[in-house]
Structure 1
Amino acid sequence: METQPSVASHVADSERVQRGIQGVAGMGASVANLALLLSVWGQWSAVLAVAGVSVVLTLFNAVLAERLVPRIGRARAEALRMGINATGICLIGIHTRWHVLLWVFVPYNMLWYFGLDSWVRPRMAIYLVSIDGVALATGAEPATVLSFSIIGIFGYLVSEKRGALLTEKNLELARTHQELQQLHQRALEQERLSSLGLMAASVAHEINNPMSYVTSNVDSLLQDMRDEPNLSAPMKEYVDDVLPATLDGIKRVNSIVSDLRRFSRGDFEGYSSYDFNAEVRTALRIARIQLGHVRVEEALEEVGPVVGRPRQIVQVLVNLLVNAGQATPAGGVVRLAARNEGALVRVEVRDTGSGMSEETKRHLFEPFFTTKPAGLGTGLGLSVVQGIIKAHGGRIEVESELGKGTCFTIELPKVPALPPEKGSGGDLRVAGH
């Protein structure tokens, strides 16, 4: 999952910066106008030109241009503003014979308008060429024109680079802040999942004790009734059907509780030899509640003993089975297959669910990437699954197509080459991607 700030937020920040700049720029323009007015004092035609044009430009820049922004957009409003300012500078220049103080406005206008849209540089070029052309045609000194044009061009380029750098830093800070918020949220979710695992282990332990009494008592009752020679027909039915079925159900409950206790343990698990098929059946029992709405098909060859961390292998299979169940609508099929392939074990978890797009598959094993609604997945499940498989020296692949289901394929060596001494980081009890 990518953490980009929204376009709307970036535009809003640019508008706030623009308004802040305009306040300072307005003060500078007023000071420059006053200095120019005083310098031509006594030349009344020039005074009237400076005063009249300055009032019009100030009014337009401060009020009218901003009111036009919501209607025609910032880019068009700026183009209009630059055109009117260029016209005003030319009018004042003609009446003041291009007084040197007037030339301050040429680079000044260029310094504080940058980065608004892709047409900023063309507008600046038209602005500068127009003023320079009129100035040279009406008697301005070429050296003065060249000097202030150079200042305007390179001053604008410097301010543009500085503005781009500040924008980049702001975006980087926004991304970092958003990433920190997401990491904080994920840490809270991990802590919650860890607490749920401990609670599940405690609940399983509490259930285990009374179930031991129930198992023992029902088994004893069945044996005593079998030893009784003179049972009535209804009681014989209990001995032959009811109590054996009850005892079988109790044993299934005990198996689930035992699986849950072992699966929820948080201590370090070393490499050991284990019955692979037994662990596959354990994963099926744990995931069964998430697969009640689909048909579960099994194709399990007898794999035999495998070396590894059995609890982590159960975690991998539970993750994949739960994901398959959540992606498959009612009446669909989830198929679990396992078979020997020489020194490898090949496992396939296939579903007839919604499938995944190419974009989703590219990010599938990234930490915190999830396609599920809030509360149904943290984006850690498949990342952890991949870590566990790699730690066992295996590999995992996915085939999926939108609307046609998904198939996860795992290949595990029966005996990993060099089992790591420490945990693989795959102890999170998460089932979600």
Structure 2
Amino acid sequence: MKQREVSSPVDPEADARWVNARLKNVTLAACIVIHALLVEGLWGQWKRIAVVTAVFALVTGTNMVLARRFFSQHTRTAESVRFFLNMGANIVYGLCSDWALPMWLYLPLNALWVDRFVDPRALPRLGWMLALVAGVSLVDGCPPMVPASFVLVSLLVYFISEGRVFLTHQAMRSLAQQHEELALAHQQLARANHRAREQERLSSLGMLAAGVAHEINNPMSYVKSNVNSLLLDLRACRQLPPELHEYVDDVLPATLDGIRRVTAIVADLRRFARGDPEAMVEYDLNQEVAVAVRIARGQFAPRCDVDVELKELPHLFGHPGQIAQVVVNLLMNAAQAMPEGGRIFLATRLEGEDAVLEVRDTGVGMTPEVRAKIFEPFFTTKPAGEGTGMGMAVVHGIVTSHRGRIHVDTAPGQGSTFIIHLPRIPPLELGIVSPSDFTRPRSDTA
């Protein structure tokens, strides 16, 4: 047995077309049966049979053509033409058959086809049709009970059909709503799954970075010790060859300075990847800014210049690793906003009881639409595969968790400025800060 193709539950037009096609076939079969009954009642009156059959063929063919446009933009025009043809055909059938019983069956059949939800003017046309056919039949001498009975039957069929159509519309609307809810839930699950994958990847990268930093730190300790010992031995030598003076005065001191810089970067990377303890600690905001600049320097050098202006600040309480992550994300965001190069201005200052961190760039800036969504998770303007859309969301989350606030000043073509206010001591949930809630940072930050 051939089954119909199952359409989407949110495609009411496709479902209505399917119902309409089946209804059209049933209606055609009913019209043929009624016409056969009408011909049988006129048997022997060949002229009348010829007229009735010609009208039947014309009206039925026209109905079949117009029914195809039932859900098109010309629905109302097609329905108007179809109603007028059916009304005229019913009058012809009645006049030719002396209002025989079979012709009255056309009235409830037409009422079955009416759909007020598709064409609001269909019901008035049905009323005019019933009134006109009944009026002509009464003038022609038909007993009043016959048209009255079939008018009532036609109206009853119409209301039953309208209830069916209404229930169908409601069911399709309910299915559409359920489909939208399922689609929304699927999107939320997909975002959660994507976020879980990103978090797992970032966690793995953090562990990998901490391990690599540890592996680099051990040999660098030997290198630093050996170079320092070599420099001390050469300086202690009284009869040093002239060609080695350059190594004592310039090469080895510069090498030691480079080793110290590498060691500092490795230590910063280890602490940045390892994260913070749960308790808040006392930290120096300027020191965390310096750490972030060293970590992120590879992202913007050499195409971007960085101007750093750090004012004297009191020590703050919080999670220093998270604050360093904020600065790193802002620096990387600024560098990515200047693909052709530019300048980044990084400054700290004290305003009242708050420490202020300002990061300004000369990049492309943001439109108001982008500015409104910049802190939404997974929102990014980068091409697919080049960004997770979590950087600025993490910045906002860290700042708010420290009871701070962040302000963005930007315009297309005028760069962007991020201003962060951090309280010296973030208030707890009850607004009471106990000294036991904070700990001193360990001196070993490596």
Give the 3 Å change call, closer, same or farther, for CA 43–182 of structure 1 in structure 2. farther
User: 1:190: Cα distance to partner?
Assistant: 2.4
Q: Structure 2 residue aligned with 1:285, among 271, 280, 294?
A: 294
Q: Aligned with 1:383: secondary structure? A: helix
Specify the code of the residue in structure 1 equivalent to 2:381.
T
Check if 1:108 corresponds to 2:110: no
Check the 8 A contact 2:364/2:414 in 1, yes or no: yes
Aligned mates of 2:429, 2:72 — CA distance in 1: 63
Q: Structure 2 residue aligned with 1:76, among 61, 73, 94?
A: 73
Give the 3 Å change call, closer, same or farther, for CA 168–105 of structure 1 in structure 2. farther
Poorly superposed stretches of 4+, deviation over 6 Å: 9-12
User: 1:343: Cα distance to partner?
Assistant: 1.8
Q: Structure 2 residue aligned with 1:17, among 15, 22, 25?
A: 15
Deviates more, 1:241-250 or 1:366-375: 366-375
Residue 132 (structure 2) aligns with: 137
Ranges in structure 1 where 5+ consecutive residues have no aligned partner: 1-8, 67-73, 115-119, 422-433
User: 1:198: Cα distance to partner?
Assistant: 1.6
Residue 29 (structure 1) aligns with: 27
Ranges in structure 2 where 5+ consecutive residues have no aligned partner: 1-6, 43-48, 95-102, 135-146, 434-446
Check the 8 A contact 1:354/1:402 in 2, yes or no: yes
Residue 426 (structure 1) aligns with: none
Residue 123 (structure 2) aligns with: 128
**CA offsets, 1:298-345, max 9 Å, x none?**
111121321111011111111111111111233311111101123210
Give the 3 Å change call, closer, same or farther, for CA 134–262 of structure 1 in structure 2. same
Identity among equivalent positions (%) equals 40
Specify the code of the residue in structure 1 equivalent to 2:63.
L
Q: Aligned with 2:245: secondary structure? A: helix
Check the 8 A contact 2:114/2:123 in 1, yes or no: no
Aligned mates of 1:27, 1:405 — CA distance in 2: 67
**CA offsets, 1:363-402, max 9 Å, x none?**
2222222222112222222222212111111111111111
Residue 54 (structure 1) aligns with: 60
Q: Show the 5 A alignment for 1:30-45.
A: 30-34=28-32, 36-37=34-35, 40=38, 42-43=40-41, 45=49
Give the 3 Å change call, closer, same or farther, for CA 228–419 of structure 1 in structure 2. farther
Q: Structure 1 residue aligned with 2:238, among 217, 229, 235?
A: 229
Specify the code of the residue in structure 2 equivalent to 1:57.
N
Specify the code of the residue in structure 2 equivalent to 1:217.
N
Aligned mates of 1:371, 1:43 — CA distance in 2: 78
- Greater C-alpha radius of gyration: 2
Specify the code of the residue in structure 1 equivalent to 2:426.
P
Aligned mates of 2:38, 2:421 — CA distance in 1: 88
The count of corresponding residues between Structure 1 and Structure 2 is: 394
Q: What's the RMSD between the two structures over aligned residues? A: 3.1
User: 1:228: Cα distance to partner?
Assistant: 1.4
Q: Show the 5 A alignment for 1:139-288.
A: 139=134, 141=148, 143=152, 146-148=155-157, 150-151=159-160, 156-266=165-275, 268-288=277-297
Check the 8 A contact 1:36/1:102 in 2, yes or no: no
Specify the code of the residue in structure 1 equivalent to 2:190.
Q
Give the 3 Å change call, closer, same or farther, for CA 37–356 of structure 1 in structure 2. same
TM-score, length-scaled by structure 2: 0.78
**CA offsets, 1:188-208, max 9 Å, x none?**
222222222222222112111
